[in-house]
Amino acid sequence: MKKAILLFTFLLFSLQIVAQSKKEIIETLKIRIDSLHSEIKNRDINFEKAQAATESNKEAIQQTISKLEQDIAYLKGQMDVIKKNGDKLLEKNMQLINTVAVLKDSISVLQNNLAANGSSSTDSDFNRKAKAAFDSVNNDEYTNNVFDNISVENDIIKDSFNQVCNDEGCVSYVLTDQFLVMSYRVSGAADMGTYIIDLNSGKNIIHDYDRYIYVTGFDKQKNVLKIETDNLDNIGRYWKKGTYNLKTKICQLGKKEY
């Protein structure tokens, strides 16, 4: 009997322990379930917030895209306008280039005509002055017609020394931009002379005490005449050679040579 009571007591205690363990497990599970529900709810809330933010960003992006599309459409329109204006300017530029080319041709023709007319006028005036200078020398009574066989048009070459000699003597002449030089020397006589006529004034620029010389050459680079003279002294006939500078109008002769 006692054994039966003890066994029953043991079983009842065991059942009580089991019942308490199950209750604790159930409570633990309930706590976990509540925790899961809370976590799911928090995740749902976070998801809704993220979705709302995404929708907001999506709208902002769509607005930005729409604005960019409008800007692109506007820029395309501006580009079309610029292209049309560029085509018009290009066409206008080609017209101006053609006009400039025509004007250049016209200017070139006018310049050539002016140059031809000016050159013709200048040459004509120069030739007139040279002829007047030659006539003033040839008509001088002291030349004794030694230049009669010379023609300004055919014989006198500008910037070139020319000389003609025969049994009666020699004549030489030089024509520059400023002067006509005429020189003569008579054979068998102490007679010579030189004229240097300024083409602008028509006057003889050589001094009387220098004119008893004969021109034997011309240095165009230095604008200098080569000259010589001869005469008699108590020793006999002598010669002198030297230069006449057309720029400074200075006559220089060397020592006597017998």
**What pTM was computed for the model?**
0.54
Tell me how far apart the alpha carbons of residues 251 and 85 are, in angstroms, rounded to a whole number.
76
**Domain edges within the chain:** 140-253
> What would the pLDDT profile of 69-92 be if each residue is shown by its tens digit?
888 989 888 988 898 888 888 888
Query: What sign does the dihedral 238-239-240-244 (CA atoms) show?
Result: positive
Residue 150 · residue 164 · CB < 8 Å: yes
| Inter-CA distances, 215 with 166, 184, 196, Å | 16, 8, 11
Over residues 141-153, the mean pLDDT reads: 84
User: Which of 98-107, 124-133, 184-193, 213-222 comes out lowest in average pLDDT?
Assistant: 98-107
* Number of residues in the chain: 258
Using CA atoms in the order 195, 198, 201, 203, what is the torsion angle rounded to 10 degrees?
Answer: -10
CA 155 to chain centre: 46
Check whether 201 has a pLDDT greater than 80: yes
Residue 151 · residue 131 · CB < 8 Å: no
Tell me how far apart the alpha carbons of residues 119 and 141 are, in angstroms, rounded to a whole number.
35
pLDDT at 221: 92
Residue 180 · residue 130 · CB < 8 Å: yes
Check whether 197 has a pLDDT greater than 90: yes
Residue 175 amino acid letter: L
Residue 246 · residue 225 · CB < 8 Å: yes
pLDDT at 40: 85
